[in-house]
Amino acid sequence: MADRIYDRTPKQDGYRMPAEYERQKQIWMCWPERTDVWRDGARPAQQAYVEVAKAIRRFEPVTMLVNARQYDHARATLPPEIRVVEMSMNDAWARDTGPVFLINDAGELRACDFEFNAWGGLTDGLFFPWDLDDRLARKICELEMIDSYRTDGFVLEGGSFHVDGEGTVLTTEMCLLSKGRNPQLTKEQIECKLRVYLNAEKVIWLKDGIDPEETNGHIDDVACFVRPGEVVCLNEENPNSPFYQASQNALHQLSQEKDAKGRSLKVHRLCCPKEPIRLPQDYVIDNTETAKKRSTSDICIASYVNFLIVNGGLIVPQYDDENDALAIKQLQEVFPDRQVVGVHTREIVYGGGNIHCITQQQPEGISKENKERGKNYDE
């Protein structure tokens, strides 16, 4: 019951992407299982995903999507209040493979289904093939009976941009101008796509993210909106950290930026883990030709910025690091009206992402299913 829209854009139709802090209906997640991405049969990662899901479920409903062969296991492992739905996938990153939901002034929902190519396709993507993940957004929209805009020929992941819900987009050049995504498009053309698909007026381009080799610098490890006119930004003060330069550049630039409404941004600084997080010495994943290799000498991309905003709450990564409590404290000050809940996510970090990367919020709104109830049938 969900239509696919190829020839129009959300901007034309009056739909916009709401900010994460607007009212949500539920959170979508995808169950991790591939043993060439997640160590030890994906069990430790699954346990971390379960803890994230349980933390979110304190605030709102959660649907966990799972490949058929893991359905029984996921259903038995998750608490009964988490909904489990079969869906075939290549990996488990709902932020980047799920739909980007949109809303109009009447409260009706639609979504963007951006082309997905595993963060760089055959150029520098992280696994092959990615066909099932590219279909995920469409299947979720179909399940929820929400019409979607499909952008064949325009690659974009949900983790590569943030919006304030009032016309401003935040992103990085490192990611959106990467060779593996849309090399045929100029920066101006890409900005135009963001404007029409997210229905925005202004795009703030940071230069770099902190993970050039993974997502090519997704913004969601660096900075995000916390309310209109205000952002949180990673503050790495240790000049020896590989994140130092990107963090300091972002802080500097954001403090001088104005948003679409002309407001100067208020920038809240958020600490980094004190100690760099590395893969454990006994870390092993299956050695396949189709997924990125990892080395125990790599520094993991562990940022407290990769939190998720939910109704009344905030779900924040924790690493058993000295700065865990400080991060919670800083975020509680930024979000005085939300409960801040920490979840240990090292095992998710080992796979290349974090809480924001593995979740996708669906705003409260009217789907076609809601409308369906009022439709006149032949009787």
The full length of the chain comes to 379
In the bound state with its own copies, the residue whose beta carbon lies nearer, of 72 and 322, is 72
- Return the structure tokens found at 76: 């038995």
Q: Which stretch binds its own copies (CB under 8 A): 86-94, 152-160, 203-211, 264-272?
A: 86-94
Based on the shown chain and the rule CB under 8 A, indicate whether residue 104 belongs to the binding site for its own copies: no
Based on the shown chain and the rule CB under 8 A, indicate whether residue 227 belongs to the binding site for its own copies: no
SS3 77: helix
In the bound state with its own copies, the residue whose beta carbon lies nearer, of 127 and 319, is 127
In the bound state with its own copies, the residue whose beta carbon lies nearer, of 275 and 369, is 369
300 is catalytic: no
Calculate the CA 195 to chain-centre distance: 19
For residue 224, how many C-alpha atoms fall within 13 Å in the half-sphere facing its CB? 25
Outline where DSSP puts E strands in the chain: 4-5, 15-16, 24-30, 62-66, 83-86, 100-104, 109-115, 148-155, 161-163, 168-172, 202-206, 223-227, 230-234, 266-270, 308-310, 313-318, 339-344, 360-363
Q: Which stretch binds its own copies (CB under 8 A): 76-84, 211-219, 288-296, 350-358?
A: 76-84
- Cβ-based neighbour number of residue 333 at 10 Å: 10
Q: Which stretch binds its own copies (CB under 8 A): 81-89, 122-130, 162-170, 192-200?
A: 81-89
Of 88, 241, 248, 253, which lies in the binding site for its own copies, with binding defined by CB under 8 A? 88
In the bound state with its own copies, the residue whose beta carbon lies nearer, of 254 and 343, is 343
Strand 24-30, strand 62-66: pairing: parallel
Based on the shown chain and the rule CB under 8 A, indicate whether residue 379 belongs to the binding site for its own copies: yes
Supply the residues annotated as catalytic: 357
Give residues in contact with its own copies (CB under 8 A).
1-3, 58-61, 68, 71-72, 75, 80-88, 132, 135, 139, 142-143, 145, 311-313, 338-339, 369, 372, 377-379
